[in-house]
Structure 1
Amino acid sequence: MKAGTSKLQNHRDFHEQLEALDDQPDNLSSNSTLDDVVEKSRRNFMKGGLGLAMAGFLGGCLGTTGQNHNSVRGIAARNLQQPDIGLKPIPVEQDLMFDAVNVPEGYTANVFFSWGDSVEKGASPWRPDGSNSWQEQMKQAGQNHDGIWFFPFPDKPDEHGLLVMNHEYINPTLHPNGLTITEDSHGFKQRPEHEVKKEMAAHGVSVIEVRKQSNGHWQKVNDSDYNRRITGFTPMDLTGEVAGTDFLKTVADHAGRQVLGTLNNCAMGVTPWGTYLTCEENWKNYFVNRDAEDYEQRPAHHRYGVAQDKNSNYYAWESVEPRFNATPDHNVAHGGYVNEPNRFGWVVEIDPFSPDSTPKKRTSMGRLVRECSTLSLGDDRRMAFYFGDDTRGEYVYKFVPDQVYEPGNSAANRDILDHGTLYVAVFHNDGRGEWRPLVFGQNGLTRRNGFTSQADVLVHARRAADILGATTMDRPEWVAVHPQTREVYVTLTNNKHRGKKEDQEINAANPREDNRHGQIVRFTEENSDPTATHFDWEIFLLAGDRPGATLADGSSVPENLVGDIKGDIFSSPDGIWFDYQGRLWIQTDYGDDDERNINMGTNQMLCCDPVTAEVKRFLTGPRGCEITGVTTTPDGKAMWVNIQHPAISFPASDGKTRPRSSTVLITKDDGGVIGT
């Protein structure tokens, strides 16, 4: 880019460029995916109490092949009550200019909360020309709504609560004329200060109080003391195993215990003690290391895909905020900001009911490009939190805290997430699986292989998982846990590299070459225990077209684009969530203008019966959007769904107003439970 100004105005092009950047696999390790790692490590993993008796595997609940799609086996077959799914599915939306939300007959969808809406007291109104200042954006809803959760108040849990949601990243629509990018005399990108600060303010989390009115309508409580914006500027404590170590120290924080902001907040999780877990996903896009030699020798940068200037799609915030320049400066303490990227990629715990509390980055849970943090709570009050590392060819993880949850004991629960064990998943070809612990000194995570401490293992969790022989997956994203059975469902959105790269060969859990449509994997922990180290798995469904379908040019759909869905077709499962009655909700994220997705229409949300695997299409979104994030009241009668990066003019839908990511409130016209 030559010196001067460039305005990137088309937010859809910007989204596609970011997707292309995120699409680059960071896993260049040579570890095999399944078979050749099994035998050499099995003996070690069966020692020390990790090899649980096979007789306890729920009677062989998931069979032996791992490839018998859409079967109903194990705990689902024996114990799962079939949920009431009575909705009339809607068709795909093929209109290239569609700019609204469709829901089934008998339902109503209304826009509830959009980018720029007021959050904190004194917030300025949103200006349609994008001219709000960065100071005003600090009090307004951020862009690109994503993970979301409804926290009920105990007095009226179905009518009053806090709605908490992530704001993942920004679009060029944030500014009046898009992103301004220039180059200095060295060819380095430069950005205006007011744009960078507004972008930092548009990231993070919003907390808003919501209440059902006497007329049955839900409203945001505008003057609530709970309403809060958490942004790229918000001070946060670094806690857990890595806190205070040299890995987190910078020239601005010699102690390594406090960081400013949280970025690229994608999906989320909740704790049984009532806090919100926001997850930092593609944080790598905000940093640059221009020292090529240092970059290649620093796995904390190259293994996670930090930019190198040749990558033109990163945000170039370092031109305004020096801490985003991770190029080592050996003339200042701690190498300047070379460790600043290490301060991102964590689970951030937020107490929504304490608006003055400081968010905490829980480093014992490991550093990833993390999609979610989904809870499974056992009968004995022991827990696991499941994560997808959202990059093609990466892994599925879980974190098991050392302590048990103690209901009503806030002091005992306060720092549970600072102590525990991080595991990575191996999916064997025979339908069995195991969790391998990322523990310093064990199973190759030793000084001989370059690790110096447990903090080192956690900062370089991806590299540690490489050594453990984890199974490379087709872009693992959201995780859902069935509220009664604790069966675990993981969305694998897609992977165009599968079968084309040596490090991403086809395996049983990821069986399709050039996998453009993705799949959902289901597994059951041994004895339904979230803390177990073994599980049985199967492919729940393969997304994609129907057999015999044709593309726009009349050609037959290639085999790798054919799915095995019972019911309504979809591509690229992303968001996934169980409601309180056991219905499985699936949300999609694909390019709706891609010819391979032509039969899918716009992105959608579907309702699935986990017993029969039947799928019914419940919602279609505006052109160019992603459907992501869903939550309901405990009674299931109010549902909030996020519409991210719509392309035309939603929610104004007038063909001229700049589009706004928005939260949509869905209710049933007869006042009933959503999905019935």
Structure 2
Amino acid sequence: MSDDFHERLAALDDQPVNPTANTPLDELVDQRRRSLLKGGLALCALGFLGGGLISPRVLRAEPAALLGFKGVAVQQDPQFDRVVVAEGYSARPFFSWGDPVLPGAPAWRADASDDWRAQELQAGDNHDGMHYFPFPDDPNDHGLLVINHESINQTLHPRGLTFEKRADGSRGRPEGEVRKEIAAHGLSVIEVRKDGAGQWRRVAGSPYNRRITGSTPMQLSGPLAGHESMKTTSDPGGRTVLGTLNNCSMGVTPWGTYLICEENWHQYFVNRDRDDYAARVSHRRYGISNRGSSNYYAWEAVDPRFDATPYPDQPHAGHVNEPHRFGWVVEVDPFDPQSTPKKRTAVGRFCRECSTLSLGADNRMAFYYGDDTKGEYVYKFVPAGRYQPGDSAANRDLLDEGTLYVARFDANGGGRWLPLVFGENGLNAGNGFASQAEVLLNARAAADLLGATPMDRPEWVAVHPRTREVYVSLTNNSDRGRKDNQPLDAANPRKRNLHGQILRWNEAGGDPTATSFRWEVFLLAGEGEDSAADENLRGTINGDIFSSPDSLYFDRAGRLWIETDYEDGEAEMHAMGCNQLLCADPQSREVRRFMVGPRGCEMTGITQTPDGRTMWVNIQHPGISYPASDGKSIPRSTTVVITRDDGGVIGS
């Protein structure tokens, strides 16, 4: 696999398209913050809550109560092609791209020569967010593992992706390649259980096993179902969508369904009409290509629904509305393989990284989201109804009605959730919003108008299982402080932020549905305080250093697991080595490195059994030959199963 391929895709995903220069408060860069910046970025990160945080030098002297393993070393070998996990633990490949899922699926061919029909029956590519759903009769030994397939690698085809330039500047593609790429996106559901020897196995032929792809029929629900902006030549009713794309992180509901999140979906579409593109905020504000072809794989050369150029001679102007049908949360019932996935439009449209639940004591809910692009926002959705335990009919459509909010992080450590509601705060026809449907369709533009805080690539959100304290990873932002629309601020305090940070907040009164919160910087990722000459590269980590936090996950004991995503071949990442999985104690803030992945991979996706004795982690786009680790085999995105050698709880 070419490292250039993933560098190119990553660069496309990270392109900022937010034209605004929102300032959360007039005093955002007040005298207090100026003095903190002069005193160093470590103080800046730890000083905004009036004594709520203490010096990391003091913290280093405190013992960690939650972290019971010895940290592993960084791996800087450019040919490193395996997984290293903490002493006393074992990690083995469990489920790789191309493994059989459905009946009739062939075994994966070592030369990647399977066609698209086989791919529809096999595991998709680029494993990402996932969740383990236990069977109630044997929850720790038997369940369903649900795994997102975010995108594809060049290795999907024996000779890599094939492009040919056409006279009009577009790119041609072989139909078989495109069909295989569409099939490699989506979702896998597999039944898993322990065998007689205590080893986890996939259950071949299980009636629960399922593949959802980029062409699986799905139902639109909520305010935009049947709306004029959802109608296309292929779907004049505006209610049925084919497929889900770029499924990054995920979420789960208390009623037992899985939430797929559509992240960088905009890269699959093109609108070649420059005038229409300039006037159509639903395309322009999301960064859809307006050149010869889509930014990613030029699928429009084979499937016309990815060509969002308006064609007035066709019903509903062709597929100009097709991009409107992506960017949503897709709800799937993993225990009913015949069920139709539903795209829930009440939650708003953007490049969504996750859908993380916080369930209140009174069964009111909030779902948190990061919009994973430089300078975008953090959101939450509060359903209008409450979760009703045991009442499946009452819970079935709870995500079809509620209020979407966007976050403003104030310099004094306070914050507000700003409602994206038609008719309020300037969200009206005079400002380009004719209805609530248009507010949800163009959630980014609505958030711009409300003055939300542009963030350093907000990604995964995790909620502490007992305190309901909320954490968000801000992976990095090389444009911070260098572009007028992304100035330094309290929550994003570093210029050219290559290493990222993690924020955390408490909702007012511990209520997930509250409209105000108190926040702080949990840590600045980066190099040690004494090792980086550039203060923008220094972190405030108490323990093992890392860069670019991405996936976040809380286990039941309250350990915060952190996975990283950076280009490990870049010179500025040399000290970090390969991407890694770490664990943090939220109280002491100590961080230890638990696992290191192979060269070129992203560590992403994490889930556990209820007893905490089994963990699954995803190795996405490894760069050499993992999981064969022989230096010559085609690398395959792989789910790894991790257990403690003595059978104990992982991390303890």
TM-score (norm 1): 0.92
Q: How many residues align?
A: 633
Q: What code does the residue aligned with 2:614 have?
A: A
Q: What is the match of residue 642 of structure 1? A: 618
Q: Please report how far the alpha carbon of residue 32 of structure 1 lies from its aligned counterpart in structure 2 after TM superposition.
A: 2.8
Any conservation in 2 of the 1:288–1:327 contact (CA below 8 Å)? yes
Q: Please report how far the alpha carbon of residue 91 of structure 1 lies from its aligned counterpart in structure 2 after TM superposition.
A: 0.7
Verify: 1:23 aligned to 2:5, yes or no: no
Candidates 480, 489, 497, aligned match of 1:507: 489
Distance 1:309 1:126 in 2: 36
Q: Please report how far the alpha carbon of residue 581 of structure 1 lies from its aligned counterpart in structure 2 after TM superposition.
A: 1.3
Q: What is the match of residue 76 of structure 2? A: 94
Q: What code does the residue aligned with 2:620 have?
A: Q
23-32 or 327-336, larger mean C-alpha shift:
23-32
Q: What is the match of residue 377 of structure 1? A: 359
Q: What is the match of residue 4 of structure 2? A: 13
Taking the TM superposition and a 5 Å limit, the aligned residue runs for 1:412-427 are 412-427=394-409
Deviations 1:602-653 (A, max 9, x none): 0000010011110000000000000000000000000000000000000001
Deviations 1:357-405 (A, max 9, x none): 0000000000010000000000000000000000000000000000000
540-549 or 473-482, larger mean C-alpha shift:
540-549
Q: What is the match of residue 271 of structure 1? A: 253
Q: Please report how far the alpha carbon of residue 68 of structure 1 lies from its aligned counterpart in structure 2 after TM superposition.
A: 6.4
Q: Secondary structure at the match of 1:504?
A: coil
Q: Secondary structure at the match of 1:598?
A: helix
Q: Please report how far the alpha carbon of residue 31 of structure 1 lies from its aligned counterpart in structure 2 after TM superposition.
A: 3.0
Query: Would the alpha carbon gap of residues 325 and 66 (structure 1) be closer, same or farther in structure 2, given more than 3 Å must change?
Result: farther
Q: What code does the residue aligned with 1:592 have?
A: D
Distance 2:222 2:602 in 1: 34
Verify: 1:188 aligned to 2:170, yes or no: yes
Q: What is the match of residue 625 of structure 1? A: 601
Q: What is the match of residue 41 of structure 2? A: none
Distance 1:280 1:123 in 2: 26
Taking the TM superposition and a 5 Å limit, the aligned residue runs for 1:284-433 are 284-309=266-291, 313-433=295-415
Report % sequence identity: 62
Q: Please report how far the alpha carbon of residue 38 of structure 1 lies from its aligned counterpart in structure 2 after TM superposition.
A: 12
Q: Secondary structure at the match of 1:65?
A: coil
Q: Please report how far the alpha carbon of residue 308 of structure 1 lies from its aligned counterpart in structure 2 after TM superposition.
A: 1.7
Any conservation in 2 of the 1:72–1:611 contact (CA below 8 Å)? no
Q: Please report how far the alpha carbon of residue 64 of structure 1 lies from its aligned counterpart in structure 2 after TM superposition.
A: 8.1
Q: Please report how far the alpha carbon of residue 37 of structure 1 lies from its aligned counterpart in structure 2 after TM superposition.
A: 9.1
Q: What code does the residue aligned with 1:65 have?
A: F
Q: What is the match of residue 590 of structure 2? A: 614
Any conservation in 2 of the 1:37–1:469 contact (CA below 8 Å)? no
Verify: 1:652 aligned to 2:628, yes or no: yes
Distance 1:64 1:455 in 2: 41
Query: Would the alpha carbon gap of residues 337 and 379 (structure 1) be closer, same or farther in structure 2, given more than 3 Å must change?
Result: same
Q: What is the match of residue 469 of structure 1? A: 451
Verify: 1:480 aligned to 2:462, yes or no: yes
Q: What code does the residue aligned with 1:207 have?
A: V
Q: What code does the residue aligned with 1:11 have?
A: S
Verify: 1:667 aligned to 2:643, yes or no: yes
Distance 1:646 1:69 in 2: 40
Query: Would the alpha carbon gap of residues 291 and 218 (structure 1) be closer, same or farther in structure 2, given more than 3 Å must change?
Result: same
Any conservation in 2 of the 1:592–1:601 contact (CA below 8 Å)? yes
**Which runs of 5 or more residues in structure 1 are unaligned?**
1-9, 40-61, 550-555
Q: What is the match of residue 537 of structure 1? A: 519
Distance 1:38 1:518 in 2: 20
Q: What code does the residue aligned with 2:471 have?
A: Y
Q: What code does the residue aligned with 2:535 have?
A: E
Candidates 549, 557, 566, aligned match of 1:573: 549
Taking the TM superposition and a 5 Å limit, the aligned residue runs for 1:443-454 are 443-454=425-436
Verify: 1:252 aligned to 2:252, yes or no: no
Q: What code does the residue aligned with 2:283 have?
A: H
Q: What is the match of residue 180 of structure 2? A: 198
Distance 1:504 1:67 in 2: 25
Deviations 1:182-204 (A, max 9, x none): 12232321111000000000000
Distance 2:26 2:575 in 1: 36
Any conservation in 2 of the 1:33–1:505 contact (CA below 8 Å)? no
Distance 1:544 1:565 in 2: 7
Q: Please report how far the alpha carbon of residue 453 of structure 1 lies from its aligned counterpart in structure 2 after TM superposition.
A: 0.4
Candidates 553, 556, 560, aligned match of 2:536: 560
Verify: 1:519 aligned to 2:501, yes or no: yes
Candidates 215, 220, 223, aligned match of 1:233: 215
